[in-house]
A and B are shown apart, each in its own frame.
Chain A
């Protein structure tokens, strides 16, 4: 079995799903079903009194791992508080640390993320930090107890694909821990590319949620992730600058 193990959990499906931006929560069960996702992210927000707000967890099957994020946190302390609040909801101890102070590109603050990782891992959280792809920062996060690291492919919600390819490849090559590409993957081929490179998983939200048919797109991403993983395990053939004939160079008719 080629399962991914994080926080003691066996994960068969290497497509992690974000649940933001869907036009209706009603879509989410079908999207989860179509994607096969086992790990599902959610956010924590204030709720206005007296509003008929929906319980989004009612749309997530019980066998999914709920991974709250700390979106809205600008510092390690804020991320830590959001993580503790999320755990108090009683849906497990996984946390995606997200510390962002840059409102234009929503790039994460690796230094604050390292600090939050240290505290939350010590408190028993299964910590998956969203990060700028940086080998040294990733090593520090793992030393602090991160269960995996999640470098961005391109800015959140941009659908621009794996613009950080070289740096992510270095992380995959050098780190023993799972590297999960999070953010910016816009097409199934982007997800396949990350998986072919050896990423342990990918986390996709916007590309699925904003597709014309999110359920169909979730299935497409699932297939791409599986294909990319199989290709990685199979071992990609080498590249060359010049052509190398596929047919025998002997026995020509002419």
Chain B
């Protein structure tokens, strides 16, 4: 299925729980924040939300900045 991850179209094999998705993508779950279709997810919500066809997902972390 097609999703948009960090602004890029991406193929993903199947509907997946967000927590699993974050882990499988190789993100460090302790240091990222996730936005799902424009809505900010709390960490607790990662187990209640699924990644589905056409979803827009942004995964962000802190970097150096002024």
Interface residues of A (CB under 8 A from B): 18-22, 25, 28, 41-51, 53, 55-57, 66, 68-69, 71, 81, 84-86, 88-89, 91, 156-157, 183, 203, 205-206
A183: nearest chain-B partner, CB-CB: B66
B66 contacts A45, C-beta separation under 8 Å: no
B residues in contact with A88, CB < 8 Å: 33, 40-42
Band of interface residues on B: 20 to 34
How far, in whole Å, are A71 and B65 apart by their CA atoms in the complex?
A: 8
Q: Which residue of A has the minimal Cβ distance to B34?
A: A88
Pairs A–B under 8 Å by Cβ, sample size 9: A20-B65, A28-B64, A44-B33, A45-B60, A46-B7, A46-B60, A47-B32, A66-B62, A183-B66
Instruction: Give the distance in Å from the alpha carbon of A156 to the alpha carbon of B41 in the complex.
Output: 32
Give the one of B31, B32, B35 with max A CB within 10 A.
Answer: B31
Given the contacts A50-B25, A85-B33, A89-B33, A45 and B40 also touching, CB distance less than 8 Å: no
Q: What total count of A-B pairs have CB within 8 Å?
A: 100
Q: CB distance B61 to A47 under 8 Å? A: yes
Q: Which residues of A contact B26 (CB under 8 A)?
A: 49-51
Q: What residues of chain B lie closer than 8 Å to A41, measured between beta carbons?
A: 65-66
Name the B residues within 8 Å of A86 (CB-CB): 33, 62
Q: Is the CB of B31 within 8 A of A43?
A: no
Q: In the complex, what residues of A have CB within 8 A of residue B6's CB?
A: 46-49
Contact of A57 among B27, B58, B60, B62 (CB under 8 A): B62
Q: Are B5 and A49 touching (Cβ within 8 A)?
A: yes
Are A47 and B60 CB-contacts (below 8 A) given A55-B28, A88-B42? yes
The answer on a CB contact under 8 Å between A49 and B66 is no
**Given A55-B31, A85-B33, A85-B40, A43–B59 Cβ distance below 8 Å?**
no
Given A46-B7, A49-B5: A22 touches B64 (CB 8 Å cut-off): yes
Q: Which residues of B contact A21 (CB under 8 A)?
A: 64, 66
> What is the distance, in angstroms, from A81's C-beta to the closest C-beta of chain B?
8
**CB < 8 Å: which of A19, A85, A156 contacts B60?**
A85
Closest 9 CB pairs of A and B: A43-B65, A18-B66, A205-B66, A49-B25, A19-B64, A50-B26, A46-B6, A20-B66, A42-B62
